[in-house]
Structures are given as structure tokens and as C-alpha cells.
A and B are shown apart, each in its own frame.
Chain A
Amino acid sequence: MYDYAATNPLTYTDPNGLTVRSNWNFFWDWVLERGDELRTYGYSNYGPNTVEMEEMMDSPGANYMRQQFRKNNCQDVTDGGYSTLRAYYETIMAPNSTPFQIGGFIYTAKNNGDGTVTYRVYNQASLYSFFLHIPFMPHKPRGGMFPFGGNINQYFEWIEPTP
């Protein structure tokens, strides 16, 4: 992955366009209500070594979670939020990246007591989030009279050494 990102993963370099393609596909999956409604990354069907997963682990949002975990004296963070506005500022320079597609999210950080911490990220792609949280924009389940833009829930999980 490091080589793939031209030895500079923090810039989200994607020379082969894999995440451009996958995020483009994700966008149309969301618009057309295709594919899985719940998408898990890390310890499930997408596996821990996907480009999306690596980008999330290297993202400003992940660094924010690490900071918050440290600020909480490395005790569990049972519920935390990485705001959409902050995500917007911190990822706008890489609009083709997974962190930009995800935007804001909520998270937990669990101290496993063995020198590692488990991070979990929860995000919902919806009409409400796509239109930047404009009031009265719905969180629409899939299907119904208007079968477009139904919610997709995304979940990332990984374990790493305690910071």
C-alpha cells in the first residue's frame, strides 16, 4: 500500500484510480440503490487490506480519533463524533478519496488492555448527508415510491497499537 501510494499515503495519491473508481461506483450504488445496504470494512467481507480501509486508517478522521483517545487518558471512548464540517476542511483537497466520501462519522475507541486499541467508525450515506444536512432532507430507507438515494450504512473496524 505504501508503494502504491508513491511512498506518501497521507496525500491519498491513487495513481491507478482505484478509489476514484470505487467511490464513483459507491456513489451510483447509493443513487440507484444497488449492492449491499450495510458495508463493512476491516473484519468482514471487504477484508482489512482494501484501499478504502487503508485510506480511512491514514485519514485525518482517524488521527482525530487517536487524539481523542489520548485526551481521554487512553480510556475507552464509547461514543464520539468527527464532524462533517471538520471532515470537509480536512479532506477537500482529496475529493476522490474514501475519507471525503465518508465525511463526518461517529466512532468508538476501545482499549483492549493488551497494548492495542480497536477503532470502529459508523457512517450513513443518505440524502440528508449528501445535501450537507439541510433540514427536512430525509434519511430514506431503500425502495418505496422513489427508489433512489436510499441509505447505505458503512462500518469500518481495525485494531492498532495504543498510541
Chain B
Amino acid sequence: MKQKQLYALLFLLTCLGMTGCSVKNEDVPGSYVLRYPYATELLLLKSNSEYIQLVIIDSDTAALTNRGKWSYRHNSELVLENALRVDNGFGQLDSLYAQPKQGGSMFPIEGYCGDIYIVRNEDLGFKYERIDDWK
């Protein structure tokens, strides 16, 4: 009986996880914000495949700006070329956060009830949240 209850719980959790929907390519461009415990990051995805990354560290008065190309693959994944990596993976400021990383950063994009989120670090709850339709 307990095993049945466990499977029922797993099935319920699986159903809950499937409530999202895919995001179309034309819906991706726009402005997004991600608030870290120590910084704020704005990500502007322009419809000409360029992005602008603006990072404001709480303890610093200057803002960092980075630009590059973005693409959207398989209706599920955002790729930023040579982006800044602000967090070290454990919720702390990366020691090399000011240097763009050469290569591709790949983030899942999720759509829920018309809202779009770019998942930066699911474990830490870091998601870019859409703030307007600016393109």
C-alpha cells in the first residue's frame, strides 16, 4: 500500500512538472532581470540576435556591460555567446565575473501562463524574469 502511495506521489509530481509550455522563437526577444543576493543582472535580447548584459554589483557603484550574439535552439534553449558569468555556481560572486567567458552559455527557457523565464541556475532559484516586450 505504501508503495502505491509513493508511486501516486511521484505521478503527481511528474504532472506538476509538465504544466509549462514551449516558447516560440518570436516571443524570446525582450528585457529580462535576474536578482542575485549580491547583484542585479539585466539581459536585453534584441530581435537582431544581439544581446546586452548589464550587471550591477550591490557593493560597487559601477555597472558592467557586455554584448554578444544570442540564438534560440529547439524551442527550448537560449545560447549566449561569450557572456558574463556572475555567480560561481554556489550563490556567490564569481571571482572572474567581470571577464566574459569565451564560449556558449546555454540556458533552458520556460513558459508558464504567458510568462517567460530563462533558467540560469535552477538549484539556486536563479531565473531571468521577463520585465517587458522591449525588442
Query: Once the chains bind, are B104 and A78 in contact (CB under 8 Å)?
Result: yes
* Given A78-B83, A85-B17, A92-B122 contact (CB < 8 Å): no
Does A79 touch B at the CB level, under 8 Å? yes
- Distance of A40 Cα from B130 Cα, bound (Å): 35
Query: Once the chains bind, are A122 and B106 in contact (CB under 8 Å)?
Result: no
Question: Quick one: CB contact mask for A71-102 with B, threshold 8 Å, 1 for yes?
Answer: 11001111111011100110010000000000
Query: Once the chains bind, are B106 and A80 in contact (CB under 8 Å)?
Result: yes
Within 120-134 of B, Cβ neighbours of A (below 8 Å) are at: 120-125
Does A105 touch B at the CB level, under 8 Å? yes
Contacting residues, chain B, for A139 (C-beta < 8 A)? 91, 124-125
Does B67 touch A at the CB level, under 8 Å? no
Known: A88-B14, A124-B123, A128-B123. 4 other contacts (CB 8 A): A76-B102, A77-B105, A78-B102, A110-B103
Contacting residues, chain A, for B83 (C-beta < 8 A)? 78-79
* Given A122-B89, A133-B125, A153-B90, A78-B108 contact (CB < 8 Å): no
- Distance of A2 Cα from B42 Cα, bound (Å): 47
Q: Give the residue name and chain of the B residue nearest to A135 (CB).
A: B125
Query: Once the chains bind, are B90 and A81 in contact (CB under 8 Å)?
Result: no
Query: Once the chains bind, are B102 and A128 in contact (CB under 8 Å)?
Result: no
Interface size on A, residues (CB 8 A): 34
Our pick among A71, A80, A103, A126 for the contact of B105 (Cβ within 8 Å) is A80
Q: Count contacts between A and B, CB distance < 8 Å.
A: 86
Within 35-78 of B, Cβ neighbours of A (below 8 Å) are at: 73
Q: Give the residue name and chain of the B residue nearest to A75 (CB).
A: B103
- Distance of A88 Cα from B122 Cα, bound (Å): 13
Query: Once the chains bind, are B108 and A128 in contact (CB under 8 Å)?
Result: no
- Distance of A122 Cα from B122 Cα, bound (Å): 11
Is the interface on chain B under 10, 10 to 19, 20 to 34, or 35 or more residues?
20 to 34
Question: Quick one: CB contact mask for B4-42 with A, threshold 8 Å, 1 for yes?
Answer: 000000100110010000000000000000000000000
Interface SS, A side? mixed
Query: Once the chains bind, are A78 and B90 in contact (CB under 8 Å)?
Result: no
Q: Give the residue name and chain of the B residue nearest to A106 (CB).
A: B121
Q: What residues of chain A have their CB less than 8 Å away from a CB belonging to chain B?
A: 38, 68, 71-72, 75-81, 83-85, 88-89, 92, 103-106, 110, 122-124, 126, 128-129, 132-133, 139, 151, 153, 155
Most buried by B among A75, A83, A85: A85
Query: Once the chains bind, are A104 and B123 in contact (CB under 8 Å)?
Result: yes
Q: Give the residue name and chain of the A residue nearest to B74 (CB).
A: A71
Q: Give the residue name and chain of the B residue nearest to A124 (CB).
A: B123
Min CB–CB distance B112 → chain A (angstroms): 12
- Distance of A83 Cα from B104 Cα, bound (Å): 17
Query: Once the chains bind, are A84 and B104 in contact (CB under 8 Å)?
Result: no
Q: Give the residue name and chain of the A residue nearest to B105 (CB).
A: A79
Min CB–CB distance A126 → chain B (angstroms): 7
